[in-house]
Chains A and B, each alone.
Chain A
């Protein structure tokens, strides 16, 4: 009988699926899911296609990169880069602790 045991959300989904299928045909959810996947894949493939069509494909080969390092930044991870392009991060765990102390339960953390 274990296949009959369902979570509440599982029940809602199954019941909803059955009702949705009655309205719109059995393959509807499968199609919606495949469509979403396909949608993402189409954008990704377009990116890789355009990459292969570009004149330069590696950052270190770019004339604009060569110029900015020659004229301005001097070297990667050098002094100017450190000033302008690198950063320090900020520990936000105290705000999280304050929130969970109020009784808010999240998916991540204790």
Chain B
């Protein structure tokens, strides 16, 4: 076990064998540390984490099939008893040390709002400029920003929605977003009948991998065979996504925490770095791309496109802020009036259990919506389980340990 930014990792060199992602535990419970407080069971949407003895013993992730790899159990465990079981860190350091390999970094939007917390900045501080400089100092040859392919995602997914509305695309409405790997696995596992409703778009990182090795390689005159692509995510489930057979050209995935670890290990003085920018071709991005990190962000970004296409009018000034879809609650429905079209009906969901009634409506043919966004983590990717832990997660352990002790005593009584 190795501790990285207050989270334990089985190893820094733990990469599943090809084809083994579906049978790999991305997070697991350290049986010796679990105090049976039940917090993980409460935050798990699917019920994948259960007492190992069927009574009230230490918890365990029962089977990879049931786990969406979101890691909310890990992010909420007051005892630090849940560890990450997959890490590409050693593989990345080997690639960075090899002069023949061109290493490309692909940081997600939410990473730049969480990374600073590992270096003493206040919660949520934007540190994008310093992050790009740190990545260059670590030896990455190209910074191709996943926030740019968030913009590509909007062009593709927004157009797909418009085509479904017009009938040019025969796939059904409502259209669901497809950026979140926990959500995709959830739909595939529990509700395969709604798969035609999912946008056929890969996630922004699913798009960036192949774009690096085609368009990016062409623009930068790099042989794609010499290229090693590293996805940096606020998310544990993205490690699973990068290993999916339908997702190509992502050679490694790490979390915000693991990036902080690399920066500290290489003794980079993060706070005193100058700001810099990503490399243009797959680097320049917009506000629509950056809000992907929030629940409601993909929806708002897509509406900024759909509104202009449907109405033929430009969104300017404050009208660019489509505030009715901004939320940190579990379910938010909104009607957006679009001139020359009418009402666009949308719904924004975070937390997979919150999606269930909305999915049931779709299956029953009674869904009123055009477009539904689903994110696994409450509040969206900024609150992903690859981000630095909330400062109070472990601090509350004294209180939680009291509950756990009583829990065990109570349990012993009922068993006796």
Interface residues of A (CB under 8 A from B): 8-9, 11-13, 15-17, 19-20, 23-24, 28-29, 32, 35-37, 39-52, 54-65, 67-69, 71-73, 76-77, 81, 84-93, 95-96, 98-99, 104-109
Complex CA–CA separation, A9 to B400 (angstroms): 14
On whether A96 and B291 interact (CB within 8 A), knowing A20-B403, A68-B215, the answer reads: no
Cβ–Cβ contact B155 & A76, under 8 A: yes
Closest to B203 in A: A87
Cβ–Cβ contact A77 & B156, under 8 A: yes
Cβ–Cβ contact A85 & B294, under 8 A: no
Q: Which of B62-70, B80-88, B97-105, B222-230 contacts A (4 or more CB under 8 A)?
A: B62-70
- 19 more A-B residue pairs beyond the given contacts A20-B403, A43-B383, A87-B202, with a C-beta to C-beta distance below 8 A: A9-B38, A16-B399, A16-B403, A47-B290, A47-B294, A48-B294, A48-B326, A51-B287, A52-B287, A54-B287, A57-B320, A62-B284, A65-B148, A76-B156, A86-B200, A96-B190, A105-B47, A108-B46, A108-B352
Cβ–Cβ contact B192 & A92, under 8 A: yes
Shortest Cβ distance from residue B205 to the other chain A in the assembled complex, whole angstroms: 12
Residues of B within 8 A of A39 (CB): 123, 390-392
Cβ–Cβ contact A89 & B195, under 8 A: yes
Q: State whether the Cβ of B11 lies closer than 8 Å to any Cβ in chain A.
A: no
On whether A59 and B304 interact (CB within 8 A), knowing A29-B399, A90-B188, the answer reads: yes
Residues of A within 8 A of B295 (CB): 44
Query: What does DSSP make chain A's interface, helix, strand, loop or mixed?
Result: helix
Cβ–Cβ contact A77 & B163, under 8 A: yes
Complex CA–CA separation, A40 to B396 (angstroms): 17
Complex CA–CA separation, A106 to B382 (angstroms): 27
Cβ–Cβ contact A64 & B291, under 8 A: no
Which listed residue, A17, A68, A85, A106, touches B48 by the CB 8 Å rule?
A106
Complex CA–CA separation, A81 to B123 (angstroms): 37
Complex CA–CA separation, A66 to B148 (angstroms): 12
Shortest Cβ distance from residue A14 to the other chain B in the assembled complex, whole angstroms: 10
Complex CA–CA separation, A54 to B184 (angstroms): 30
Residues of A within 8 A of B189 (CB): 92-93, 95-96
Cβ–Cβ contact B320 & A89, under 8 A: no
Complex CA–CA separation, A49 to B159 (angstroms): 27
Q: Which of B133-141, B275-283, B362-370 contacts A (4 or more CB under 8 A)?
A: B275-283
Query: What does DSSP make chain B's interface, helix, strand, loop or mixed?
Result: helix
Cβ–Cβ contact B124 & A109, under 8 A: no
Cβ–Cβ contact B285 & A64, under 8 A: yes
Listed A/B pairs (30) with beta-carbon separation below 8 Å? A12-B406, A15-B410, A16-B406, A20-B403, A24-B398, A29-B399, A39-B392, A41-B328, A43-B124, A43-B293, A47-B113, A50-B287, A51-B287, A58-B287, A59-B151, A63-B284, A67-B281, A72-B218, A73-B215, A76-B156, A84-B210, A85-B202, A85-B210, A87-B246, A88-B246, A89-B184, A91-B195, A93-B188, A93-B189, A95-B65
Shortest Cβ distance from residue A26 to the other chain B in the assembled complex, whole angstroms: 12
Closest to A90 in B: B188
Provide the B368-399 mask, 1 if CB < 8 A to any CB of A, else 0. 00000000001110110000001110001011
